[in-house]
Structure 1
Amino acid sequence: MSEFSIIIPTLNEGPRLETLLPYLYANADPGALPEIIISDGGSTDDTKEIARKEGALVISAPRGRASQMNAGAKQAKGRILYFLHADSLPPPNFQSKITSALKRRETAGCFRIRFEPSNAFLSAFAWCSRLNFPICRGGDQSLFLPKKWFEALGGFDERYRVYEDNEFTGRLYRHYTFTVLPSELRTSARRYREKGVYQLQFHYAVVHLKKFFGASPESLYRYYKKHISVEPKADT
């Protein structure tokens, strides 16, 4: 068994797993294939069947990315955890890129991001992902870190049904080293297409500002549900 565990929270992501899972195996380290854990929040499509067919371990968890990713991490056997969204494709040879970075020094980290399809605004926004500041982080970029660091920080805060990635990454920056690897991860711009590029980015900015000024997890979730939420992602 590889010491590398990939954790993917899902909610009705069957069609995306049909693309993602073969891609992950094809671009993993052939000498140490990763453990892939699908942490499902109650899918009603064929997500779990597709995942099992492709060789992933499927577990069930309370709906919400924080609880789903925590459940996956608890199940994981690897000393390296890699959290990935179902609509994101890490760069080719992603596993070797991560393990090479960890051999140079112990670190948490992510990849740069590229939206597909993109436009000038999203390209400019994606450019900022190369900057190593907490405000430039987001769950779509994926996240790797030693499992012992994840456990030391207590995992994702399950009070946050949204913003859980940013809240956890903020704690990572305060306590450990963080690295942005130069390769690009491709992620779906589906939510921008559905909600509108400028409108959605405005609402994301409001969520960040509300958190900065002390909004509670419940307040962030209410705003998110009203202005941002689109099924069927595993964060609602």
Structure 2
Amino acid sequence: MALLMDYAKALFDIAMIIAVQALMLAQVSFGYYRLKGEVPEGVTVRDREPLPKESTLSIVIPAYREADTIEATLRRVAQAASWPSRCEVIVVDAGGGDDTLPIVRRLKKELDFDIQITTSTGGRGPAVAAGAAKAKGQALLVLHADTLLPYAFDDRIIEALGANYACCFRFAVDRTQIHWKGLLRWLRLVPFEVMDRTVFIRSGFFQLPFGDQAIACRKTTYAALGGFDELARAPMLEDYLLVQKLRRLGKALGARCITQLGAPARCHPRRWLARPVWRVNWTNQVIMVQVNYRGLTPQQVFELYYGRRV
């Protein structure tokens, strides 16, 4: 009986994720076509000129209580870079107070890779801005501390930024962290497959990736789009605000400003293992509707999402 209940729950979750993701695509498509074009001051066509292959890529990793994931993320960066000498990593500790920083310091000594450490307070926006301020590279990659990059990520980014204002990787959940077995495993994985495919459409056709897809742009573009002022004040949704600016730029230019690279960045499934996939995504959709149609600020969203102030 318990097994039958598990199967029934899995089928219910599949039906719900299909409904939620269909609603997401409908909401995103409506929002995309009502979007108004705008060219921010300071953004020029020079931001789409080819980058020299030896350009430094600065990888900014905001970290808040990421002791469980930061080691795997940093090791993957070091292993996956095709040209490690042109990459630097800047880990920004956002004040979680766990073992994140000791782990980073150990890896800084152990890995043959340029790893810097800085700190910030106030949420993800200030953390990204603090890391970007220390960056030496022409190109910035903002990497979540629970996301694994694909091999040769640096080659892909440097090449993509020669023709686009920004780029991101294809979204995928790291299935190696999912340990269900048998038919139940297959059923439990279907919602992740649905999510992967609909996020691919959202990011490519509607130009709306989120931060767990490892968004990259030039440092000059990041600055011109408010990275060191407006975005730096956002405790969360700084990735969404950046992408919205890029989407408005694309509307104004009549071109796509964000290219989605074919290789996947694999995100740890911890959020969706704690709660059903559809429920997590439904919560996110409710928040995005509140932001787009009721004008909620990132500060208000933070309070709504976490139940506390920054």
TM-score normalised to structure 1 length: 0.88
| Distance apart, 1:158 and its partner CA | 3.8
| 2:156 equivalent among 97, 107, 115 | 97
| Distance apart, 1:42 and its partner CA | 1.1
Greater shift, 64-73 or 51-60, is seen at 51-60
User: Taking structure 1 as reference, are residues 31 and 112 closer, same or farther at Cα in structure 2, changes over 3 Å only?
Assistant: closer
One-letter amino acid of the structure 2 residue matched with residue 121 of structure 1? P
Tell me, in whole angstroms, the C-alpha distance in 2 between the residues paired with 1:225 and 1:181: 32
1:152 is aligned to 224
| Distance apart, 1:133 and its partner CA | 4.6
Q: How is 1:48-197 mapped onto 2 (pairs within 5 angstroms)?
A: 48-55=101-108, 56-103=115-162, 105-117=163-175, 119-131=189-201, 132-133=204-205, 136-155=208-227, 157-175=231-249, 177-197=257-277
Describe the superposition over 1:132-181 as per-residue Cα deviations: whole angstroms up to 9, x where unpaired: 25574211111100111001111062443222211111112222521101
Tell me, in whole angstroms, the C-alpha distance in 2 between the residues paired with 1:158 and 1:6: 17
Q: How is 1:7-46 mapped onto 2 (pairs within 5 angstroms)?
A: 7-30=60-83, 32-46=85-99
Answer whether contact 2:128 2:232 (CA < 8 A) is retained.
no
| Distance apart, 1:186 and its partner CA | 0.6
One-letter amino acid of the structure 2 residue matched with residue 60 of structure 1? T
Tell me, in whole angstroms, the C-alpha distance in 2 between the residues paired with 1:46 and 1:20: 15
User: Which structure carries more helix by proportion?
Assistant: 2
User: Which structure carries more strand by proportion?
Assistant: 1
Greater shift, 131-140 or 37-46, is seen at 131-140
Answer whether contact 2:61 2:92 (CA < 8 A) is retained.
yes
Tell me, in whole angstroms, the C-alpha distance in 1 between the residues paired with 2:277 and 2:84: 41
Tell me, in whole angstroms, the C-alpha distance in 1 between the residues paired with 2:152 and 2:78: 10
Task: Please state whether the residue corresponding to 2:286 is helix, strand or coil.
Answer: helix
Tell me, in whole angstroms, the C-alpha distance in 2 between the residues paired with 1:148 and 1:2: 14
Task: Please state whether the residue corresponding to 1:154 is helix, strand or coil.
Answer: coil
Answer whether contact 1:12 1:47 (CA < 8 A) is retained.
yes
| Distance apart, 1:21 and its partner CA | 1.0
| Distance apart, 1:215 and its partner CA | 2.0
One-letter amino acid of the structure 2 residue matched with residue 201 of structure 1? N
Describe the superposition over 1:96-151 as per-residue Cα deviations: whole angstroms up to 9, x where unpaired: 11112234x14301011111337212211211333325574211111100111001
- Gapped runs of 5+ residues in structure 2? 1-53, 109-114, 179-188, 251-256
Answer whether contact 2:140 2:219 (CA < 8 A) is retained.
yes
One-letter amino acid of the structure 2 residue matched with residue 108 of structure 1? A
Work out the number of aligned pairs and report it.
227
Over the aligned positions, Cα root-mean-square deviation in angstroms equals 2.1
Task: Please state whether the residue corresponding to 2:59 is helix, strand or coil.
Answer: strand
Task: Please state whether the residue corresponding to 1:42 is helix, strand or coil.
Answer: coil
Tell me, in whole angstroms, the C-alpha distance in 2 between the residues paired with 1:219 and 1:13: 24
Tell me, in whole angstroms, the C-alpha distance in 2 between the residues paired with 1:147 and 1:187: 24
Find runs of 4+ consecutive structure 1 residues off by over 4 angstroms: none
Which structure's CA Rg is the greater one?
2
TM-score normalised to structure 2 length: 0.68
Answer whether contact 2:236 2:299 (CA < 8 A) is retained.
no
